[in-house]
Structure 1
Amino acid sequence: MSVAYTAVLNVSEGSVLFLSGLLHAERVRRGTRKGRRALGTYKQAVLVLRWFLDDTRMLALARDNAIAVSTAYDYRDEGIAVLAARRPSLHGALLAAKAAGHSHVIVDGTLIHTDRISTPGPTRGVDLWWSGKHRHHGGNIQVVSTPDGWPLWTSDVRPGREHDMSAARANPELLARITDWVSDGALALADLGYEGEPATFTIPFKKTQDGRLAVDEQACNALHGALRCLGERANSLLKTTYKALRRYRGCPWRLGSITAAALILLHHEHHRTT
């Protein structure tokens, strides 16, 4: 027995039409004939957005649209792909930030939780996707944001066992573009997790063995923390807007594309990129 009810999706009509247009263009590119799909592009866009916004289970999405569960997965994955294909390059994002007059950007990593994955890592007895810091399985995503905490760019995923510095080094575009950004006189604020690249990232002073800092160093750290903490808003904005990013129940290597797709939706919904 089931009960039907009316629900409202917390997204603008413009975002649905935007995604519907991308899906239509993809069908044209593939040469999909009219009437060969179970759902039109508008209903498919709603299906994809329901998953992103509410993390609606695929069984429910399939039932509500009278399609097979496997078809619902295919439709969702197609939506993710067309959105992720529009992800900005870090070079373009930083050029836009420079044009907007931003004096600095904030670089921070966030862990997107996943179900338990017993994939052996390089350390014996430790899963590849297990984050010791967060005590949870997940994928590490690097996020570059504006001074007020608006996400500009997201990286591909790295296994949760990797610290932020290791994840940043695994992405050659990230270090290269941030180095260019800094060489132009701007700053890239980061926490002590990035202390391995002090010439690239502006990080706070680290306490000495006696646990003391000079007064000037304390003042510098306080100012640094006040500016950098806004970068946490970027991570929070993505996860609170799109519940699908709070815990993913699929192959973790897909998290980079999923996060990039969420970024494109966020930019379009708020009509803001920088």
Structure 2
Amino acid sequence: MTNASEPAEGVSLVYQCRLDLSTSTIVCLRDLLRSHLKAVRSPFRSQPAGRVAVLVLAMLRHDQRLLDLASGNGVPESTLRRWRDEMIDLLAARAPRLDRALRKIARRGGEVVLLDGTLIPTQRRTGKANRPNYSGKNHRNGLHFLALTDERGRLIWISAARPGRTHDATAARRDKRSSST
């Protein structure tokens, strides 16, 4: 029986890529993760919080297979998946609700906002799990996001990921009623 994680030639290769991120982005995510770990009283992590943040950002930015990124950095694939899901949940918990973001704009005297949906392409999954993520309008698989910007185009709010088949109006209606903080 062969081990699938070992290369056939017997020599491992680490894939490197350039990840353009500001230091403040990494520090923000690192501090967010540190405060979460203190809150749940997690005594140990195999990697420091800053390295976890960089790995998760690299994974999200380059849509790289988890196994490739994990083996190149000495972290199990399941751990990397757990870190990714944990970081997404932490960021989503900080996002304001759509109605609160609109009220905040109104208090500041903003008169114009742009609300638009976009499809972020993803890799196709097989079987029935693929069907909700297929957008007939764009003829692609992906996840649907709503974005709210001010008149200058600055991002004010972005929705949670929805299946690619979701219409903009349906997503806005559901986000108006969402109870996440």
Amino acid at match of 1:47: L
CA deviation after TM superposition for structure 1 residue 81, in Å: 1.6
Residue in 1 that maps onto 2:38: 28
Instruction: Describe how 1:1-274 pairs up with structure 2 within 5 A.
Output: 1-3=11-13, 8-33=18-43, 36-114=44-122, 115-116=124-125, 118-119=127-128, 127-173=131-177
- Percent same amino acid at aligned positions? 35
Cα deviation code 1:122-172 (max 9, x no counterpart): xxxxx4333211112333222211112222112234433333223333334
Long gaps (5+) in structure 2: 1-10
Distance 1:161 1:45, change over 3 A: closer
- Residues 117 and 129 in structure 1, CA contact (< 8 A), matched pair in contact too: no
CA distance in 1, matches of 2:17, 2:153: 31
Long gaps (5+) in structure 1: 121-126, 175-256, 258-274
- Which one has the largest radius of gyration? 1
Give me the CA root mean square deviation. 2.8
Structure 1 stretches of 4+ moved >4 Å: 3-8
CA distance in 1, matches of 2:48, 2:80: 13
Q: TM-score, normalised by structure 1?
A: 0.53
Q: TM-score, normalised by structure 2?
A: 0.77
Amino acid at match of 1:106: L
Distance 1:56 1:118, change over 3 A: closer
CA distance in 1, matches of 2:50, 2:121: 30
CA distance in 1, matches of 2:154, 2:56: 23
CA deviation after TM superposition for structure 1 residue 60, in Å: 2.9
Aligned residues: 168
Higher relative contact order, chain-length normalized (CA < 8 Å, sep 6+): 1
CA distance in 2, matches of 1:156, 1:42: 24
Amino acid at match of 2:42: T
Amino acid at match of 1:12: S
CA distance in 1, matches of 2:115, 2:82: 33
Distance 1:94 1:66, change over 3 A: same
Distance 1:151 1:59, change over 3 A: same
Cα deviation code 1:14-54 (max 9, x no counterpart): 21111111111111111111xx3211111111111212333
